[in-house]
Amino acid sequence: MNEVKKEMNNFIQKIINDDSDSGKWNNRVHTRFPPEPNGYLHIGHAKSICLNFGIAEKNKGTCNLRFDDTNPVKEEEEYVQSIIEDVKWLGFDWEDRLFYASDYFEQLYEFAIQLIQDGSAYICDLSGDEIRNMRGSLNEPGLESPHRTRSVEENLELFHKMKNGEFGNGEKVLRAKINMAHPNLNMRDPVMYRILHAKHHRTGNDWCIYPMYDWAHGLEDSIERITHSICTLEFEDHRPLYDWYLNQLDIYHPQQIEFARLNLNFTMMSKRKLKQLVDENHVSGWDDPRMPTISGLRRRGYTPKAIRNFAEDVGVTKRDSIIDVVRLENALREDLNKIAPRVMGVLDPLKVVITNYPEDKTELLKAVNNPENPDAGKRDIPFSKELYIEQSDFMEDPPRKFFRLGPGREVRLRYAYFITCNEVIKNKSGEIIELHCTYDSETKGGSAPDGRKVKGTLHWVSVNDAIDAEVRLYDRLFLNENPGETDDFLANLNPESCKTQANAKLESSLSNPENITYQFERNGYFIKDEKDSMNGKLVFNRAVSLRDSWAKFFKNNGK
Ligand code: ATP
Ligand code: MG
């Protein structure tokens, strides 16, 4: 996509351009990414990260990383650490601007006292259920709390007691005094503080009252002097409430801008449901390579660049839509095609014996490291009498269009020689265990001096030099296109989302692989699994196949 089109794709950039023209923020652009540390980040968060940090970067502004840690019950330090790692890995830098909402607890408390003093907030003794039941509906006004008319003095005293732990969980709340008949339900005396005798991951037992998200969020942005508070569409209806709080307190007022969240087909992005997958062991962890989490994608072999390009490519809109997950995969293919070193790996090996090749000879052949990058150079790969090829590259009785190996057929071994299959060796149960072939020594490098052609080129690995590995091939975690739409999402788990090839054979240059994604020629892109490779066992994950195998699926299903 060209620059102009990218710009057009981003209505937020247009707002910033207008603000810059009108001098609204004195040319300041200050955004933030405000995750709640109650789970690992997923690809939807990645979009928000790219947007917030990207907008700041493009406009010479700054972006904060802020943990919105106002709920002590669900939040954990493990999540904080994973979020820090993920944002860094994506390539963004918050410099010294790492903040926690919990650092503002004292300030938020002071703000609440200010509202009470102004007569704009009151202590309410109703239970959560009662408050909900009295809220009314879109067609009906709500009912006012009997405690709405408490005096300022009484409210201050009760709030003080709430803070000092003199009441039990749920006994009292602090509510904003707005309007129980307001057409926007969020404005019907929303709760600002609740009592929760729970230990917070950072403030410990210092507090037993905790601010509600809607009370805290806009104030956090104000405290940090954010210019553009970018959030997802579901907060549009909350904006009047944030505005009300800021106006009532008469403090710095950021501009909230809503955009449509990223939805991907075949992908579930609810943190609660992802946590359930982890807790119930449907996946091996938050970083399972099938998870849509940033840590899962990283382990799967995704690159930061692919994810950033994808975020840029899908753009920013005001309208909800579902993006085809193939676009994410294609962004990865596009990046890896340019940078991934090419190697050969046989996933499902079949032994080939070159009967006319000398017994103890090994010769080194030159292989191109990356045809897309001339600077990547060449490497030596060993060739010898016994080789592995892919089981699927041989058919005893091949159909006409099968251009790979069959009895009496000649094919090219990549970077090596032409070989012809002469004999198929089987075990007692009739399974093919070995092929006997001859090679043409005149065809070194892959072409025949007499000009004869072969249609198939196979990848291979020399038996003596092969590296043993387990290779994991992934497929969609869910079978239906919109797994998040039902609560019964577990019923849609794809039982074949991970297939293991336990006896893969890799070329010798992979004896000590780097932490990068390689292209195994013809088989896709693979990365070493740093977690499960241990005690001499080498495990590789397939990030993505070379082509989109689901394109065929959709074609066949009339899409
Ligand atoms: P929840 O609030 O239910 O725990 P969440 O996904 O909104 O889940 P947050 O930690 O609040 O989690 O999200 C941090 C930021 O990421 C928010 O600003 C949110 O708008 C943004 N975000 C979350 N999901 C998406 C998505 N699918 N697409 C774009 N942005 C998202
Ligand atoms: Mg949220």
Instruction: Report the pLDDT value the prediction gives residue 242, as an integer from 0 to 100.
Output: 98
The response to whether residue 44 sits with its C-beta less than 6 Å from ligand 1 reads yes
The response to whether residue 48 sits with its C-beta less than 6 Å from ligand 1 reads yes
**Alpha-carbon distance 56 to 378, whole Å?**
41
Examine residue 488 and state whether it is found in any structural domain, yes or no: no
Q: Last residue of some domain: 209, 241, 259?
A: 259
Examine residue 122 and state whether it is found in any structural domain, yes or no: yes
Examine residue 486 and state whether it is found in any structural domain, yes or no: no
DSSP lists the bridge partners of residue 190 as: none
Taking the CA of 83 as reference, the closest ligand is 1
* 68 CA to centre of ligand 2 in angstroms: 9
Regarding whether 377 and 250 lie in a shared domain, the answer is no
Instruction: Report the pLDDT value the prediction gives residue 409, as an integer from 0 to 100.
Output: 97
The residues, ordered by sequence, that sit 6+ positions from 219 with a Cβ below 8 Å of its Cβ are 104, 107, 108, 111, 245, 246, 249, 251
How high does pLDDT run on average in the chain? 95
Q: Which residue range(s) make up the domain with 381?
A: 342-453
The count of other CB atoms within 10 Å of the CB of residue 116 is: 24
The response to whether residue 51 sits with its C-beta less than 6 Å from ligand 1 reads no
Q: Is the pLDDT of residue 391 over 60?
A: yes
Examine residue 282 and state whether it is found in any structural domain, yes or no: no
**Strand order of the sheet with strand 98-100?**
30-33, 62-67, 98-100
Q: What is the pLDDT of residues 210-223, one digit of tens each?
A: 999 999 999 999 99
Of all atoms in ligand 1, which is nearest to the CA of residue 232? 20
SS3 annotation, 137-169:
CCCCCCCCCCCCCCCHHHHHHHHHHHHCCCCCC
**Strand order of the sheet with strand 191-195?**
121-124, 173-176, 191-195, 209-211
The response to whether residue 217 sits with its C-beta less than 6 Å from ligand 1 reads no
What does each C-alpha distance from 287 to 36, 84, 356, 448, 513 come to in angstroms? 18, 15, 49, 48, 20
Q: What is the CATH number of the domain that holds 414?
A: 2.40.240.10
Regarding whether 371 and 233 lie in a shared domain, the answer is no
Instruction: Report the pLDDT value the prediction gives residue 559, as an integer from 0 to 100.
Output: 41
Regarding whether 247 and 351 lie in a shared domain, the answer is no
Can you say how many angstroms the Cα of residue 302 is from the centroid of all Cα atoms in its chain? 9
**How many domains does the structure of the chain reveal?**
2
The response to whether residue 262 sits with its C-beta less than 6 Å from ligand 1 reads yes
Q: What is the CATH number of the domain that holds 139?
A: 3.40.50.620
DSSP lists the bridge partners of residue 63 as: 31
**Alpha-carbon distance 542 to 301, whole Å?**
7
Taking the CA of 262 as reference, the closest ligand is 1
Question: Tokens 């210019």 sit at which residue?
Answer: 227
Examine residue 311 and state whether it is found in any structural domain, yes or no: no
Regarding whether 347 and 243 lie in a shared domain, the answer is no
Question: Tokens 């239970």 sit at which residue?
Answer: 127
SS3 breakdown of the chain: % helix, strand, coil, rounded to 5? Answer: 30, 25, 45
Q: Last residue of some domain: 230, 259, 288?
A: 259
- The two structure tokens encoding residue 479: 């079978």
Instruction: Report the pLDDT value the prediction gives residue 549, as an integer from 0 to 100.
Output: 58
Regarding whether 254 and 156 lie in a shared domain, the answer is yes
Nearest CA to ligand 1 atom 27: 44
Q: Is the pLDDT of residue 67 over 60?
A: yes
Task: Grade residue 548 by pLDDT with cuts at 50, 70 and 90.
Answer: low
- Is 65 in a helix, a strand, or coil? strand
Q: Indicate the top mutation candidate among 48, 68, 213, 236 to test ligand 1's pocket, ranked by most ligand atoms within 8 A of CB.
A: 48
Regarding whether 395 and 255 lie in a shared domain, the answer is no
**Please, what's the b/e burial string for 199-212 (b: 16 or more CB within 10 A of its CB; e: otherwise)?**
ebbbbeeebbbbbb
The answer to whether the beta carbons of residues 312 and 6 sit under 8 Å apart is: yes
Q: Last residue of some domain: 425, 453, 481?
A: 453
Nearest CA to ligand 1 atom 23: 45
Give first-to-last CA distance, the chain, whole Å.
25
Regarding whether 65 and 197 lie in a shared domain, the answer is yes
Nearest CA to ligand 1 atom 1: 271
* 35 CA to centre of ligand 1 in angstroms: 7
Can you say how many angstroms the Cα of residue 471 is from the centroid of all Cα atoms in its chain? 22
Instruction: Report the pLDDT value the prediction gives residue 3, as an integer from 0 to 100.
Output: 52
492: alpha, beta or left, given left = phi > 0 and alpha = psi -120 to 50? Answer: alpha
Regarding whether 248 and 383 lie in a shared domain, the answer is no
Q: Is the pLDDT of residue 259 over 70?
A: yes
Instruction: Report the pLDDT value the prediction gives residue 486, as an integer from 0 to 100.
Output: 81
* 259 CA to centre of ligand 1 in angstroms: 11
The answer to whether the beta carbons of residues 508 and 381 sit under 8 Å apart is: yes
**Alpha-carbon distance 296 to 273, whole Å?**
15
Instruction: Report the pLDDT value the prediction gives residue 484, as an integer from 0 to 100.
Output: 85
**Alpha-carbon distance 133 to 52, whole Å?**
38
Nearest CA to ligand 1 atom 9: 35
Instruction: Report the pLDDT value the prediction gives residue 10, as an integer from 0 to 100.
Output: 86
Query: pTM for the whole thing?
Result: 0.94
Of all atoms in ligand 1, which is nearest to the CA of residue 49? 16
Regarding whether 347 and 255 lie in a shared domain, the answer is no
The response to whether residue 444 sits with its C-beta less than 6 Å from ligand 1 reads no
The response to whether residue 231 sits with its C-beta less than 6 Å from ligand 1 reads yes
Span 400-428, mean pLDDT?
A: 97
Report the percentage of the chain scoring pLDDT > 90: 94
Examine residue 382 and state whether it is found in any structural domain, yes or no: yes
Examine residue 31 and state whether it is found in any structural domain, yes or no: yes
Of all atoms in ligand 1, which is nearest to the CA of residue 48? 30
Regarding whether 157 and 64 lie in a shared domain, the answer is yes
Regarding whether 351 and 238 lie in a shared domain, the answer is no
Examine residue 513 and state whether it is found in any structural domain, yes or no: no
The response to whether residue 269 sits with its C-beta less than 6 Å from ligand 1 reads yes
Looking at the annotation, which residues are catalytic? 36, 261, 271
Span 253-259, mean pLDDT?
A: 98
Instruction: Report the pLDDT value the prediction gives residue 558, as an integer from 0 to 100.
Output: 44
The response to whether residue 38 sits with its C-beta less than 6 Å from ligand 1 reads yes
The count of other CB atoms within 10 Å of the CB of residue 39 is: 24
Regarding whether 349 and 241 lie in a shared domain, the answer is no
